[in-house]
Structure 1
Amino acid sequence: MIDKLQFFITLAGEQHFGRAAEECGVTQPTLSAAIRQLENELGVMLVNRGSRYQGLTPEGQRVLEWARRIVGDARTMKEEMRAARSGLSGHVRIAAIPTALSLIPKITAPFQEKHPDVTFSIQSATSLQILGQLENLETDIGITYLENEPLGRMVAVPLIEERYHLVVARTAAEAKLPSIAWREASTLPLCLLTSDMQNRRIINRHMGEAGVTIAPRLESNSMIVLFTHVLTGKWASIMPLEAARSFGFADDVAVIPLMEPEASHSVGVVALERDPNTPLVSALINAARNVR
């Protein structure tokens, strides 16, 4: 039953039988058969089917809530027994917004030193993707904005207040400015994160508050791409101060505070609210509370 529920959760997340089967490491007929067996056991249709996946039935939506709870509880039980038997070990999946990737070692480095049998996988994702992955049990910990979009049923631990700065090459004319207004920054050739990123939506909002709209010359979902273009001296970017200082380019770029408005946004660790949570997730949440 647990395996079938996990297949169902993955199908609901991927919304495609083929991709869900690939994610689960099984063939599509195996996954389809497992979903059919689950429907037979429960006595309800869970998935609207035609020639392809067409969404969950109302009963399927309700079963999805139960499936997440049951699979999550089963994982918690297994991890708790493993921790009782041999100490904290296992694998942690972390998803972070691009501007917060540099914060992760502040958590993982001391944690791994204390718990050497724990391994990590880390991926960059949008804030909405992170919340969806947490809900679908596809990731364990997220690092994202805490205040701009509804978090729902999450435990949240603040890490930093992002303060936005204009980032230019040291050779740029703006490099020696003590500060710059958002309206003024809008006239520069900007390279920014893509519009599906919450960071970009925040920048757009502050530009709107300054009475301007922006049309970036370049967009990317990679911070490295933005930095390498800034270093040419032909582009400028807008980034949180922590990110601008943490990607190894500090000596080659200048960061200028953005004013009018002066804005900051809370970024922190989020995890699905469960009682109890898995030992690994609980320990990482506690570790995040100790980050300085």
Structure 2
Amino acid sequence: MIEKLDMFITLAREQHFGHAAQACGVSQPALSASIKQLEEQLGVLLVLRGSRFQGLTPEGERVLEWARRLVGDARTMQQELETMRHGLSGHLKVAAIPTALSYVPALTAPFVAGNPGVTVSVLSRSSSEILSLLENLEIDVGITYLDNEPVGKVTQIPLYRETYCLVTGADTEQATGQRITWRDVSRLPLCLLTKDMQNRRILDGILADASADVAPTLESDSIVTLFAHVQTGLWSTIMPESLATTFAIGTLKTIPIVDPVAGARVGLVATHREPHAPLISAVLRQARHLAQADKLEQESHL
């Protein structure tokens, strides 16, 4: 039944029989037959069918919740047994918001160094996509914002506080200052992330609180694209300081934004489950160690 429940989860995610079959590595008739068998075993209709997928029945929505729990528990059991036999190994799947990508090596580098049997994949995703991927068991952990919008019932470990700076051309007028206010930033030609990105919604909130209206003349969901446009000298952008110091080199300059010095908490999230799979438990321990080290460093600067 676990295999059928896993297929059902995939169908609910893809909302298309053909795409779900491809994701599961089976033929479409085989997928349809497995879902039909699952319905017969449970004695309920799970999927609304027509010429194509039309959604889940109320019973299907409830079974989906149980399916995620049961499939997750089965994977945890299998990983525990594998760890008992061979030590910690496997493939860790991480998704991070784009503005946290420069931080990810602080987590993955020591983790892989301490667990040589583990390989890692890192995806760049929006905060809402990260929660969806977690829910559908497609990733193990995510790195995302914790406070600005609900993250649901997940295990959370705060990692650091994101603060912001202006990234601008080194030969621009504003590059001569040591700091800049949000209101002054709002008057510049800006390129920013699109509104579907939580970072943009956070920045819009800060600017609104500072009574600083902003109308960027260019938007993109790609940070690389924003930095490339700032390089032309025609735009500036607002970035987390950690990200800006990583990529703003050469002809670019970073300037702290004040009045106020604003920020947002970023942390590691994982599906709320006890016990966690060994791989997830190990990365949670690594995250707690990082968080504690960051806290001690901040206290030493006070």
- Fold match, TM over 0.5? yes
Corresponding residue for residue 243 of structure 2: 243
**Backbone CA RMSD of aligned residues:** 1.3
1:22 to 2:44 alignment: no
1:285 aligns with 2:284: yes
Q: Give the match's secondary structure for 2:51.
A: coil
Aligned to 1:101: 101
**Could you tell me how far apart the structure 1 residues matched to 2:134 and 2:185 are?**
36
Matches for 1:1-292 after TM superposition, within 5 Å: 1-247=1-247, 249-291=248-290, 292=293
Q: In structure 1, what residue type is equivalent to 2:277?
A: T
Aligned equivalents of 1:18, 1:106: Cα separation in 2: 39
Equivalent pairs counted in the alignment come to 291
Distance 1:211 1:124 in 2: 32
Q: CA deviation at 1:147?
A: 0.7
Moved more, 190-199 or 175-184: 175-184
Classify 1:183/1:19 alpha carbon distance in 2 versus 1 (closer, same or farther; 3 Å): farther
How many Å separate the matches in 1 of 2:237 and 2:277?
Answer: 39
Deviation at 1:143, TM superposition (A): 0.3
The residue matched to 2:162 in structure 1 has which SS?
strand
Q: Match of 2:269, SS?
A: strand
Matched to 1:12, the amino acid is A
Contact 1:186 1:214 in 2 (8 A): yes
Q: Unaligned regions of 5+ residues in structure 2, if any?
A: 294-302
Query: How far apart are 1:251 and its partner, in Å?
Result: 4.1
- Deviations 1:149-194 (CA, angstroms, capped at 9, x unpaired): 1121211111110001111121221112122222221221111111
Give distance in 2, aligned partners of 1:29 and 1:170: 60
- Determine helix, strand or coil for the equivalent of 1:102: coil
Deviates more, 1:193-202 or 1:208-217: 208-217
Distance in 2 (CA, whole Å) between partners of 1:215 and 1:154 is 35
209-218 or 273-282: which moved more? 209-218
| 1:254 partner amino acid | K
Query: In the aligned structure 1, how far is the partner of 2:127 from the partner of 2:69?
Result: 22
Give, in whole Å, the separation in 2 of the partners of 1:53 and 1:246.
45
